[in-house]
């Protein structure tokens, strides 16, 4: 017997994607995850642009992680121009990326993931049945928004923290700090639901990649770390290769020829030691995690880490005075931890500071191959179930990765075709 | 709460920044006057007729055209949300570059992408309202929704960012030698970028009341040439600025 499953229009993830599966004699002979997001050719758009124009363009790759793209661009270009950002500048960027990650994780956990586990269609139903969850999510999102706005000038697509003088709303940051202090226990208690959800059992070993620092939970600096050892950011292309698959508008990345995972779970697995006190206390289930569904747990723990870290650092942030950089020839790579995982930006500049080469590898591109592998593994376990159950389980798995096909995923339409 | 207008919030190829703006605490009270029928980024079921649909993103592939046509068929009112939907946005920069070079730089093979010329929604379907800006202005979305609910007329400002910027008493960025498009860009953002010391890139598109000829003359005196201004104007609303340029 042959079965063909295609899931059209995955929505409720950032972006557009579909899945195509063919099963023959209880064997999966095809499992293709297809990004159908239209190609916007960002790297091409950057060619011929002046270095300081680049963040205006790259932040528009993604509205959910626009701060991460902005910072990756600025840090790569700074390196290419031989500029070393000050401690204060780095602190400012760390606050920006943490504010964004807090908001992104909260949006994913409560608006996209949680309704599935409570048997609800959407966050709109959740709001009717359990409004406290949605109110809580909005509290977290609002805190994230306030930080990004205070540091970056607006909630989405922040102004590039770094090329020139940055106007910071320090009063607002102080308010947020006090708010976080007052709410920390409530946040810790509120997030506990993600420890208690019934996650499907799907254990597999894979390699986890993220930035790592000795004495800090890395978001914007450090070296790349995985089980095969440490990699210099500049050597990323020697290890991470992108391949094109005819069925998808997205590229698929492999690390040393194998699928791998980036994102909150990879960071928690590799950097558990560097987590804050409350985040460690929160994790009553101890990492390392080998079940991709636990990415939800990892995101919840990261929210607590971010809360702790922000309380520690928000009053240290102050405006930074900088001179406009002088253009020169250069070539550099920067990696930052975006909410969904390691993000690479690489640029070459000519002597006028004009971009002559750009390469960007996003977290979702790196997770796609592993996601396909996990879907296959899950299908083997659940192929005997009915159409609706299979659909929900696959959707839950894909959502756990929190992919960003440039915005994706709720309605999965599942077509069954059975041949005899 | 019977007979609430049926709302849809969609994205074609874009960054989700606009639809995320809808998931904002301050917009919720206004949105509760609507029945959210379709909102794929947060909803499993998205079927049914609509009274009003918001769409973000740029048309960059034949798939986008199909999706957009489907939305148009099922809604009474269609609103282009954000600079991509209104003007083509950042992806439309491609129209001013060597298309083949750009495409091949990013993808060695391009046939499977089904790419089309990056264009705003109204190139393909009838658009009833435009709410430009990148990211969109929450306050303006709220005002628009209230106008819609009360059947009041909604109009965008016709003056330029420069007017708003002066009202705020900001130092002029042109005076600082920055290439600011404030004088020719439509107001409505409360001069957000110039107030932060960042030059205007024209994300609300050309201002109806602006005089491009005068602007070019003035800015040439400051050492910029027409080519630089035109290039800067391609970032968010290149196609619209180009039209205005030709009319001049």
SS3 state of residue B54:
strand
Asked if B102's CB is within 8 angstroms of A47's CB, the reply is yes
Q: Are residues A59 and A154 in the same domain?
A: yes
pLDDT of res. A39? 84
pLDDT of res. A50? 93
Asked if A45's CB is within 8 angstroms of B91's CB, the reply is yes
Q: Are residues A20 and A46 in the same domain?
A: no
Question: What's the complex ipTM?
Answer: 0.96
Inside any domain, residue A118: yes
Question: How many beta-carbon pairs below 8 A join chains A and B?
Answer: 181
pLDDT of res. A409? 26
Q: Are residues A262 and A170 in the same domain?
A: yes
Inside any domain, residue A380: no
Q: Give the CATH number for residue A176.
A: 1.10.645.10
pLDDT at residue A212 above 80?
yes
From first CA to last CA, the distance across chain A in angstroms is 5
Q: How far apart are CA B215 and CA A226, in angstroms?
A: 54
* Residue B71 C-alpha, separation from nearest chain A C-alpha, in angstroms: 14
Q: Are residues A135 and A257 in the same domain?
A: yes
Q: Say if residues A227 and A207 touch (Cβ distance below 8 Å).
A: yes
Between A303 and A387, residue with greater pLDDT: A303
Q: Are residues A51 and A17 in the same domain?
A: no
Confidence of residue A384 (pLDDT cuts 50, 70, 90): confident
Q: How far apart are CA A66 and CA A97, in angstroms?
A: 9
Q: How far apart are CA A134 and CA B56, in angstroms?
A: 24
Inside any domain, residue A280: yes
Inside any domain, residue A199: yes
Inside any domain, residue A376: no
Between B38 and A227, residue with greater pLDDT: B38
Nearest chain A alpha carbon to B60? A38
Q: Are residues A27 and A95 in the same domain?
A: no
pLDDT of res. A369? 87
Number of independent structural domains in chain A: 2
Inside any domain, residue A269: yes
Give the angle subtended at the CA of A102 by the CAs of A203 and B132, to the nearest 5°.
Answer: 115
pLDDT at residue B1 above 60?
no
**pLDDT for A18-65, tens place per residue?**
888 787 888 888 888 777 778 889 999 999 999 999 999 999 999 999
Q: Say if residues A198 and A284 touch (Cβ distance below 8 Å).
A: no
Inside any domain, residue A378: no
Q: Say if residues B146 and B30 touch (Cβ distance below 8 Å).
A: yes
Q: Are residues A360 and A407 in the same domain?
A: no
Sorted by sequence, the CB contacts under 8 Å of residue A326 that are 6+ apart come out as A81
Identify the domain containing residue A6 by its residue range: 2-38+385-419
Asked if B101's CB is within 8 angstroms of A44's CB, the reply is yes
**Nearest neighbour of A12 by CB, restricted to B12, B40, B91:** B40
What sign does the CA torsion over A139, A105, B59, A74 have? positive
Q: What is the DSSP letter of B38?
A: E
pLDDT at residue A124 above 50?
yes
Sorted by sequence, the CB contacts under 8 Å of residue A402 that are 6+ apart come out as A13, A104, A108, A112, A113, A263, A264, A295, A299, A339, A340
Question: Percent of chain B beyond pLDDT 70?
Answer: 99
Inside any domain, residue A374: no
Q: Are residues A162 and A225 in the same domain?
A: yes
**pLDDT for B94-120, tens place per residue?**
999 999 998 888 877 777 778 899 999
Q: Are residues A107 and A139 in the same domain?
A: yes
Cβ contacts of B110 on chain A, cutoff 8 Å: 39
pLDDT at residue A144 above 80?
yes
Q: Are residues A352 and A399 in the same domain?
A: no
pLDDT at residue A3 above 70?
no
Residue B199 near chain A (CB below 8 Å): no
Between A407 and A386, residue with greater pLDDT: A386
pLDDT at residue A165 above 90?
no
Q: Are residues A28 and A46 in the same domain?
A: no
Model pTM score: 0.94
**Nearest neighbour of B196 by CB, restricted to A43, A60, A159:** A159
Q: Are residues A133 and A179 in the same domain?
A: yes
pLDDT at residue A411 above 50?
no
State mean pLDDT over A73-82: 95
Q: How far apart are CA B132 and CA B189, in angstroms?
A: 10
């Amino acid at each position: 017997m042959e079965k063909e499953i295609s899931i059209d229009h995955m929505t409720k993830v950032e972006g557009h994607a579909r899945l195509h599966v063919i099963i023959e004699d209880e064997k999966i002979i095809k499992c293709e995850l297809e990004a159908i997001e239209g190609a916007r050719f960002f790297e091409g758009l950057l060619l011929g642009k002046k270095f300081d124009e680049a963040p205006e363009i790259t932040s528009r790759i993604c509205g959910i992680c626009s701060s991460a793209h902005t910072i990756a661009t600025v840090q790569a270009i700074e390196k290419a121009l031989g500029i070393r950002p000050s401690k204060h500048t780095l602190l400012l960027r760390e606050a920006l990326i943490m504010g964004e990650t807090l908001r992104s994780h909260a949006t994913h956990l409560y608006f996209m993931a949680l309704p599935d586990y409570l048997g609800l269609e959407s966050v709109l139903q959740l709001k009717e049945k359990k409004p406290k969850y949605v109110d809580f999510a909005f509290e977290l999102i609002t805190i994230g928004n306030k930080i990004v706005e205070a540091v970056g000038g607006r909630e989405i697509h922040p102004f590039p923290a770094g090329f020139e003088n940055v106007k910071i709303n320090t009063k607002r940051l102080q308010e947020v700090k006090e708010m976080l202090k007052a709410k920390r226990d409530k946040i810790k208690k509120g997030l506990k639901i993600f420890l208690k959800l019934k996650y499907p059992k799907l254990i597999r070993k894979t390699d986890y990649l993220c930035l790592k620092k000795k004495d800090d939970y890395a978001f914007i600096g450090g070296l790349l770390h995985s089980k095969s050892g440490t990699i210099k950011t500049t050597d990323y292309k020697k290890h991470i290769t992108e391949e094109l698959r005819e069925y998808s508008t997205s590229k698929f990345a492999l690390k040393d020829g194998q699928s791998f995972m980036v994102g909150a779970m990879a960071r928690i697995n590799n950097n558990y030691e560097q987590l804050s006190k409350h985040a460690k206390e929160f994790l009553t289930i101890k990492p390392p995690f080998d079940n991709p569904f636990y990415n939800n747990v990892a995101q919840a723990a990261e929210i607590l880490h971010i809360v702790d870290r922000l309380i520690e650092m928000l009053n240290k942030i102050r405006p930074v005075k900088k001179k406009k950089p002088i253009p020169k020839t250069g070539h550099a790579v920067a990696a930052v931890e975006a909410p969904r995982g390691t993000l690479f930006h690489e640029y070459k500049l000519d002597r006028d500071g004009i971009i002559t080469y750009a390469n960007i590898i996003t977290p979702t591109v790196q997770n796609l191959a592993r996601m396909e592998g996990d879907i296959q593994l899950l299908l083997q376990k659940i192929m005997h179930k009915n159409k609706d159950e299979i659909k929900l389980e696959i959707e839950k798995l894909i959502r756990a990765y929190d992919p960003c096909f440039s915005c994706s995923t709720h309605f999965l339409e599942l077509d069954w075709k059975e041949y005899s | 709460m019977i007979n609430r207008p049926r709302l849809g919030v969609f994205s074609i190829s874009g960054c989700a920044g606009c639809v995320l703006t809808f998931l904002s605490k301050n917009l919720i009270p206004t949105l509760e006057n609507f029945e959210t029928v379709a909102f794929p980024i947060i909803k499993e079921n998205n079927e049914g007729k609509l009274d009003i649909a918001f769409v973000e993103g740029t048309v960059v592939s034949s798939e986008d055209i199909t999706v957009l046509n489907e939305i148009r068929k099922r809604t009474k009112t269609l609103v282009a949300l954000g600079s991509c939907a209104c003007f083509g946005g950042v992806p439309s920069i491609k129209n001013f570059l060597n298309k083949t070079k750009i495409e091949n730089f990013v993808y060695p093979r391009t046939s499977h992408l089904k790419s089309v010329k990056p264009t705003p929604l109204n190139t393909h379907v009838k658009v009833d309202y435009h709410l430009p800006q990148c990211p969109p202005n929450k306050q303006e979305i709220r005002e628009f929704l209230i106008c819609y609910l009360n059947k009041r007329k909604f109009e965008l400002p016709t003056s330029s960012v420069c007017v708003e910027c002066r009202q705020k008493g900001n130092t002029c960025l042109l005076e600082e030698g920055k290439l600011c498009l404030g004088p020719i860009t439509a107001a409505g953002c409360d001069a957000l970028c110039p107030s932060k010391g960042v030059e205007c890139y024209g994300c609300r598109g050309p201002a109806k009341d602006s005089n491009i000829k005068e602007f070019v003359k003035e800015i040439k005196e400051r050492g910029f040439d027409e080519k630089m201004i035109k290039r800067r104007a391609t970032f968010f609303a290149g196609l619209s600025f180009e039209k205005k340029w030709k009319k001049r």
